[in-house]
């Protein structure tokens, strides 16, 4: 497996575009006539009709784009050819939300000559504000006209909100002697957005993945659901599950491999590539958490079951007190044990070991459920780095899992204190 460039456009047949249409006007216009606004709308399309799979937020409040996308996939038999996505407005909790989300799809369908159900839609931004459709009507012809196999970055920046960097990743791998690509915004290519309001439950933020691997819709859904559980669902920035979370993958089949229609070695190879893409995007999302100064990665090993390992690792990463301790570079390991202790899983706390690790070294802070002597000076050096690993060994089995998050800083409060402005 090899990492490659191209993001969402890495896989054969996929092209993208992005532009600024003015969905949300800035509070104060920049007086510089040469100022370039960040893209706020994008389009990803494929040359062929794709088998498609998706997972969505489990929040009871769901954005209108999710309702429309689910309806379109049901009508099309889980096939799609394009997806339009915007930032700056979530189109959620609006009386005309579904109407406007469907309108976005219809605009693209009319411009590209497609049935509307072959177009999916996603939105991210402020909840509860009416989505202005006029700028989108104006932008769609430009988006379609400017579709290009090399415009992955234009699309990736268009879905950013409080993100400070775009998130893209892609790989290529061999299957049946064919080179497959997979990427996101097998090749597998992908792009993602997310910085705050991230505590996924069967989805996360906005994530779009493309692949040219030939794989049935059923196997694609199985692979996506399985890998989401151990990647995106193991991410927590602030404990809030968004209303608009969506992960979507489209498979063009243009790699030319024998179609994957059942479990077996070929599906395992595909899932390994998909895990690589999604795990790397998850890590990027965690590192770019709102106001974050440190990436936190908790590895729980020695667990009796995979689910136990996931629950414990997520419990540590999701602890507000622990996040604060990491921001303060305080080796307050008791907060790790506290989070492990309230995790809803069965294990013996008296067998648990905990260590803190970074490029500056490793400090063991707990063995057999009790604290051990350690150098505060060495611990301070470890925690001064910007990527911290929390190593939890339950010593009660062979399963392991990783969860990702970030510290909780003053800047997080500042960002969310005036998010709408």
What does the pLDDT read at residue 412? 79
Are 347 and 379 in a shared domain? yes
What does the pLDDT read at residue 419? 60
Are 191 and 332 in a shared domain? no
The domain that holds 370 is classified in CATH as: 3.10.20.340
Alpha helices, DSSP H only, in 56-145? 64-76, 97-112, 134-145
First to last CA, the chain: 44
Of 217, 249, 283, the one marking the end of a domain is 283
In a domain, 289, yes or no: no
| Distant-in-sequence contacts of 258-265, Cβ < 8 A, 24+ apart | 258/176, 258/214, 259/214, 259/215, 259/216, 260/213, 260/214, 260/215, 260/216, 260/219, 261/215, 261/216, 261/218, 261/219, 262/219, 263/219, 263/222
**Two tokens at 385?**
């780095």
The domain that holds 252 is classified in CATH as: 3.60.70.12
In a domain, 290, yes or no: no
Distances from the Cα of 188 to the Cα of 5, 150, 253, angstroms: 11, 15, 11
**Two tokens at 231?**
């990647």
What does the pLDDT read at residue 309? 96
In a domain, 413, yes or no: yes
188/273 Cα distance (integer angstroms) = 7
336/67 Cα distance (integer angstroms) = 38
Of 239, 261, 283, the one marking the end of a domain is 283
In a domain, 12, yes or no: yes
What does the pLDDT read at residue 182? 86
Of 229, 262, 283, the one marking the end of a domain is 283
Are 176 and 300 in a shared domain? no
Average pLDDT per 10 consecutive residues for the chain, totaling 421 residues:
92 96 73 76 97 89 92 98 94 94 98 98 90 96 97 90 79 92 58 46 69 97 94 74 81 96 97 94 83 92 96 93 93 93 92 97 96 95 96 97 91 72 58
Are 255 and 345 in a shared domain? no
Are 274 and 300 in a shared domain? no
Are 276 and 318 in a shared domain? no
In a domain, 128, yes or no: yes
User: Which residues are part of the catalytic machinery?
Assistant: 204
Give me the domain span that covers residue 24. Answer: 2-28+36-283
Number of structural domains (the chain) is 2
Are 243 and 303 in a shared domain? no
The reported pTM is: 0.85
Are 173 and 310 in a shared domain? no
Are 87 and 224 in a shared domain? yes
């Amino acid at each position: 497996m090899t990492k490659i460039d191209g993001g969402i456009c890495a896989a054969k047949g996929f092209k993208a575009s992005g532009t600024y249409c003015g969905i949300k006007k800035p509070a104060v216009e920049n007086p510089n006539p040469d100022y370039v606004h960040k893209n706020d709308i994008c389009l990803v399309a494929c040359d062929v009709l794709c088998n498609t799979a998706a997972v969505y937020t489990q929040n009871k409040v769901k954005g209108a784009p999710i309702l429309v996308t689910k309806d379109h996939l049901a009508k099309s038999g889980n096939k799609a050819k394009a997806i339009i996505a915007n930032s700056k407005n979530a189109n959620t909790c609006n009386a005309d939300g579904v109407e406007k989300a469907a309108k976005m799809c219809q605009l693209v369908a009319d411009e590209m000559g497609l049935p509307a159900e072959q177009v999916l839609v996603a939105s991210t931004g402020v909840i509860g504000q009416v989505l202005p459709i006029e700028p989108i009507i104006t932008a769609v012809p430009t988006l379609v006209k400017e579709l290009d196999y090399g415009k992955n970055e234009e699309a990736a920046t268009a879905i950013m909100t409080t993100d400070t960097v775009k998130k893209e990743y892609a790989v290529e791998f061999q299957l049946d002697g064919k080179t497959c690509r997979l990427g996101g915004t097998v090749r597998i290519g992908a792009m993602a957005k997310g910085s705050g309001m991230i505590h996924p439950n069967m989805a996360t933020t906005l994530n779009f993945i493309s692949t040219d691997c030939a794989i049935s819709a059923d196997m694609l859904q199985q692979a996506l659901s399985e890998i989401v559980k151990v990647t995106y669902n193991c991410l927590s920035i602030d404990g809030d599950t968004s209303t608009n979370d969506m992960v979507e993958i489209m498979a063009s089949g243009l790699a030319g491999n024998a179609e994957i229609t059942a479990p077996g070695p070929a599906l395992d190879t595909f899932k390994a590539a998909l895990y690589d893409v999604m795990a790397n995007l998850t890590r990027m999302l965690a590192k770019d958490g709102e106001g974050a100064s440190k990436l936190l990665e908790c590895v729980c090993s020695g667990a009796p079951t995979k689910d136990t390992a996931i629950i414990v690792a997520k419990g540590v990463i999701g602890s507000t007190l622990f996040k604060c301790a990491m921001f303060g570079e305080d080796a307050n390991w008791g907060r790790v044990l506290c989070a492990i202790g309230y995790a809803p899983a069965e294990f013996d706390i008296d067998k648990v070991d905990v260590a803190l690790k970074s490029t500056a070294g490793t400090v063991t802070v707990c063995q057999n459920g009790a604290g051990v002597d350690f150098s505060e000076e060495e611990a301070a050096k470890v925690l001064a780095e910007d990527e911290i690993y929390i190593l939890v060994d339950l010593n009660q089995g062979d399963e392991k899992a990783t969860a990702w998050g970030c510290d909780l800083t003053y800047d997080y409060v500042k960002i969310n204190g005036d998010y709408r402005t």
